[in-house]
Amino acid sequence: MGFSSGEIETSGRGFSFLRDEPLDMRYGKNELTAEKIINNWSDQDLTKIFREYGEERFADKIAAAIVRDRKTKRIETTFELVRIIRQSTPYFYHRRRLHPATKVFQALRIAVNDELNNLNKFLPQVLDVLVSGGRLAIISFHSLEDRIVKNFLKEKKREGLIEILTKKVTRPRHEEIAQNPRARSAKLRAAIKI
């Protein structure tokens, strides 16, 4: 779901924690930015989005550190946020395959762009434009998106509107992940309209 990783990485909008850019994360021209969330939302609200949208294990510690640090200086760039995340998480967390900022950045991107709500609006619309026999294939990249897609397809199957083509989620093979490491979290689900 969403934009290509190449577009996001070179956007200059702070989607990547590997580049020092302004904390924006907007796909479009909406008012809400990651910088506004980081500098204005309460400790509880930050913890909630990090936990719910990022499934971040140390959500409360990261949120508390953000609130503490922003009292002395606004947090405006990706590297400033990454520094806070690194300082507020245990050392073992930095030694994993996943970068310690991954889940927080995911949560901020989802919140800024209202991604889950947009997905919930999109799915019924796409089914409306499909003709009988038309196929729908959706690739999601994290469990929150996948859960929404899975539940939507199950509901429409119960209603007799579709037949699910992928009984279980389809994941990339090891060869594909070796060629394209970003595919590692991809999940494909497909259906045909009756």
User: What pLDDT does 14 receive?
Assistant: 84
Domain total of the chain: 2
Where residue 76 sits, what CATH number does that domain have?
Answer: 1.10.150.170
Nearby residues of 51 by Cβ (< 8 Å), 6 or more positions away: 59, 60
Angle at 138 between CA 57 and CA 124, to 5 degrees: 100
Q: Are residues 123 and 51 located together in one domain of the fold?
A: no
User: What pLDDT does 57 receive?
Assistant: 95
Say which residue, 4 or 114, is predicted with more confidence.
114
Does residue 51 surpass a pLDDT of 60? yes
Q: Give the pLDDT band (50/70/90) at residue 29.
A: confident
Q: Are residues 87 and 121 located together in one domain of the fold?
A: no
- Looking at the chain, how many residues does it have? 194
- Which of 91, 113, 135 lies at the terminal end of a domain, its last residue? 113
DSSP states of 14-53 as a string? Answer: S--TTS--BS---SSS-S--HHHHHHHS-HHHHHHHHHHT
Percentage helix, strand, coil for the chain under 3-state DSSP, each rounded to 5 = 55, 10, 35
Cross-sheet strand order for the sheet of 187-193: 135-140, 187-193, 162-164
pTM listed for this prediction: 0.86
User: What pLDDT does 181 receive?
Assistant: 87
Q: Give the pLDDT band (50/70/90) at residue 9.
A: low
Q: Which domain holds residue 145?
A: 115-193
Euclidean distance between CA atoms 71 and 187, whole angstroms: 40
pLDDT tens for 132-186 read: 999 999 999 989 999 999 999 999 999 999 999 998 999 999 999 999 988 999 9
Does residue 6 surpass a pLDDT of 80? no
Does residue 1 surpass a pLDDT of 60? no
